[in-house]
Structure 1
Amino acid sequence: MTAYGLHASHEQIPPADLLDAVTHAERAGFTAAMCSDHFSPWSVRQGESGFAWSWLGAALQATDRVPFGVVNAPGQRYHPAIVAQAVASLAAMYPGRFWAALGSGEASNEHITGARWPRKDVRNARLRECVDVIRALLAGEEVSHDGLVTVDRARLWTLPAEVPPLIGAACSAATAAWCAEWADGLITVNAPRERLREIIGAYRDAGGRGPLHLQVHLSWAPDEADATALAHDQWRTNVHAPPVSWDLDSPELFDIVSEHVGPEQVARTVNISSDLGRHTAWLQEYADLGFDAVMLHHVGRELGPFIDVFGDKVLPRLDVTRPVPATAKEFRCV
């Protein structure tokens, strides 16, 4: 059985509207949620970028049982001790309802510090240091560290009863295998089935344990042309493979390089259809691949109709479960 959740896109939707959406989604039958953590959107057309961590506190309070996750990039915009403190506080207030996915980040969010944007191998090494710092702090240790990040005698005075999972974020088999060294689970984004199998296999073959999460970009509207136009308007800046998606540093640049991206190219990264049966089949395929949680990101800026229709017509046709409590001890790699 698979948990089907709502992805809350801070780049596209004001935080108050996203808060309404997640409470609506819980009532409609979605059993999980997650959000992005951006400083800027991917496109000027998207036009938003609320602060994820303050929103998460409000969202956890406003909902009853739904667990939440966030994808975060420690090391440049965020000092790892601050990430650890944020994780600990949310987990202490909402036991078993919070997890954090950690990745190496994108220049569009991280350049604001004025620090140099490192190479990918350096960013991965920095992330690995941050993971060790965050884990040690969540374990109650005092941490000093000198490396790609510096920590001076940090200690968390408020600790959760159970340490929440730190999930690895990966979009390639190589990164998934690397995440297996340290992660309590894995999250990736929708891709062709064979590529998803490779990512899952690389993670598991390298010893990776814990739940598998998938973020699915989709576009639905009652009319096929409207679903296609919506996806093209809002998500054509997100079709570019790394290193473009990592290294461009402003929404304006993403818009420029996406000027000639057509709807057919967007359809390679977004599940576009007015047919609810087709969306159901896509979601079932992801469950059949072994994903424990599938987070639905409707790329439109109006979520109400999507939530109502998918809650009424799609989720009842899937084997939906509520996820196990989010605690790291069940998933810690050994």
Structure 2
Amino acid sequence: MTDYGYFLSSEEHSPAALVDQARMAEQAGFTSLWISDHFHPWNDEQGESPFVWSVIGALSQAVSLPVETAVTCPMIRTHPAVVAHAAATAAVQLEGRFRLGVGTGEALNEHVLGGPWPEASVRLEMLEEAVQVMRMLFTGEQSSHRGTHYTLENARLYTCPDEPVPIDVSAFGPQAAAVAGRIGDGLITMAPESESIEHFRRSGGGTKPVMAGVKVCWGTDREEAVRTAHRLWANEQLPGELPQILPTPRHFEQANELVTRDRIAENVVCGDDADAHIAVLNTYVEAGFDTVHINQIGPDQRGFFDFYRTKVLPQLTG
């Protein structure tokens, strides 16, 4: 059976609001939490981007749900040793209910220190080495590493969970899915397509969990919901590698001008038709996902949670 979690959007909401949403998600019947890890929002309309590890500490005291970053880039802006340190502490705070979702990142967040932005194949290579470094540290033993991209010298994590933190790998194509199958404890992706799952399982993923995220915009006025989704998340409809290479929110705002409101209406579930929400979630079930994390676009979070608690989740899990 597919499980349903809630996807906390750090790009749209303050730390306090994210914690409030986590509480509402647990009360509504969602079984886990994702939280995005960004330095910048995608555009200025979204307007937020708190430091994810501080928010996770607050979540550990506010809810009993499992939490996962979706996703952290442990490669350029933040050294994998620092990410491992943060993730191990989060896992201790959450009493083992933490998973680390990782990916190759976006220039939007990772170029801020002024370094180069490598091409995708190099970033995958960096990610694989970064995961190796983090797994060494999760043993709690003193570790050293001299690799192509990272150096670790006499490093030891003293605050570690009883079991190593699971590392799930984000993938949006066959090459990345193959890497995820080889090095990951699970697969993270967004589109309800079975091809990435098949690549992941054939490449060593086997029966490990596969997880997805989807955005919706609940509201009693569908047209207003479409306008809200278009204003805040037009970037979701940008094609190909463009979201990985644009460097600033302003560049995304320029690119978003190419995304029409009609395109949002066709590709994002908006409004309060329960059948429409259930239908899009069933596409993920049919593709073979174990967990789907749903994010409500916009400010009307309580209305969304009431709607899913009463109209949607009972039909999915009953």
TM superposition shift of 1:268: 5.4
| Structure 1: distance between partners of 2:146 and 2:264 | 43
Give the 3-state SS of the residue equivalent to 1:216 in structure 2.
Answer: strand
**Correspondence list, 1:145-294, <5 A:** 145-189=146-190, 191=191, 193=192, 196-209=193-206, 210-267=208-265, 269-294=267-292
| Structure 2: distance between partners of 1:263 and 1:284 | 24
Structure 1, residues 175-194: CA drift from partner, whole Å, max 9, x if none? 112211100000101x3x5x
TM superposition shift of 1:241: 2.4
Instruction: Specify the alignment match of 1:325 in structure 2.
Output: none
TM superposition shift of 1:254: 0.3
Range moving further from structure 2, 244-253 or 263-272: 263-272
AA matched with 1:222: T
Given that residues 10 and 37 in structure 2 are in contact (C-alpha distance below 8 angstroms), is that contact kept between their aligned partners in structure 1?
yes
TM superposition shift of 1:139: 1.5
| Structure 2: distance between partners of 1:100 and 1:266 | 30
AA matched with 1:187: I
Instruction: Specify the alignment match of 1:329 in structure 2.
Output: none
**Correspondence list, 1:35-54, <5 A:** 35-54=35-54
| Structure 1: distance between partners of 2:33 and 2:95 | 15
| Structure 1: distance between partners of 2:267 and 2:38 | 20
Instruction: Specify the alignment match of 2:299 in structure 1.
Output: 301
TM superposition shift of 1:237: 2.0
Once superposed, what is the RMSD of the aligned Cα atoms? 1.5
TM-score by length of 1: 0.90
After the TM superposition, list the runs of 4 or more consecutive aligned residues in structure 1 that deviate by more than 6 angstroms: none
TM-score by length of 2: 0.95
1:4 aligns with 2:1: no
Instruction: Specify the alignment match of 1:326 in structure 2.
Output: none
TM superposition shift of 1:150: 2.2
Given that residues 11 and 40 in structure 1 are in contact (C-alpha distance below 8 angstroms), is that contact kept between their aligned partners in structure 2?
yes
Structure 1, residues 197-239: CA drift from partner, whole Å, max 9, x if none? 1111111122213111110111221122122111111111221
Instruction: Specify the alignment match of 2:134 in structure 1.
Output: 134
Aligned residue pairs total: 315
| Structure 1: distance between partners of 2:265 and 2:179 | 29
Given that residues 95 and 162 in structure 1 are in contact (C-alpha distance below 8 angstroms), is that contact kept between their aligned partners in structure 2?
no
Given that residues 108 and 247 in structure 2 are in contact (C-alpha distance below 8 angstroms), is that contact kept between their aligned partners in structure 1?
yes
AA matched with 1:148: H
AA matched with 2:186: G
Structure 1, residues 260-312: CA drift from partner, whole Å, max 9, x if none? 32022224553334311111122133223221111001122331111111111
Given that residues 128 and 179 in structure 2 are in contact (C-alpha distance below 8 angstroms), is that contact kept between their aligned partners in structure 1?
no
TM superposition shift of 1:174: 2.7
Which residues of structure 2 form unaligned runs of 5+? none
Given that residues 124 and 176 in structure 2 are in contact (C-alpha distance below 8 angstroms), is that contact kept between their aligned partners in structure 1?
no
Structure 1, residues 41-98: CA drift from partner, whole Å, max 9, x if none? 101111111111110110121002x101001001111110111111111212323311
Given that residues 218 and 304 in structure 2 are in contact (C-alpha distance below 8 angstroms), is that contact kept between their aligned partners in structure 1?
yes
**Distance verdict in 2 for CA 1:269–1:164, change over 3 Å:** farther
| Structure 1: distance between partners of 2:255 and 2:93 | 43
Given that residues 129 and 147 in structure 2 are in contact (C-alpha distance below 8 angstroms), is that contact kept between their aligned partners in structure 1?
no
Give the 3-state SS of the residue equivalent to 1:160 in structure 2.
Answer: coil
Range moving further from structure 2, 232-241 or 245-254: 232-241
Query: Which structure is richer in relative contact order (CA contacts within 8 A, separation 6 or more)?
Result: 1
Given that residues 137 and 143 in structure 1 are in contact (C-alpha distance below 8 angstroms), is that contact kept between their aligned partners in structure 2?
no
Given that residues 91 and 162 in structure 1 are in contact (C-alpha distance below 8 angstroms), is that contact kept between their aligned partners in structure 2?
no
Instruction: Specify the alignment match of 2:18 in structure 1.
Output: 18
Give the 3-state SS of the residue equivalent to 2:104 in structure 1.
Answer: coil
Identity of aligned residues (%): 39
| Structure 1: distance between partners of 2:238 and 2:226 | 18
TM superposition shift of 1:144: 2.5
**Distance verdict in 2 for CA 1:206–1:144, change over 3 Å:** closer
Structure 1, residues 242-261: CA drift from partner, whole Å, max 9, x if none? 32100101001100111232
| Structure 1: distance between partners of 2:276 and 2:237 | 22
Instruction: Specify the alignment match of 1:332 in structure 2.
Output: none
Which structure's residues are more often helix, by fraction? 2
| Structure 2: distance between partners of 1:133 and 1:60 | 25
| Structure 1: distance between partners of 2:85 and 2:267 | 35
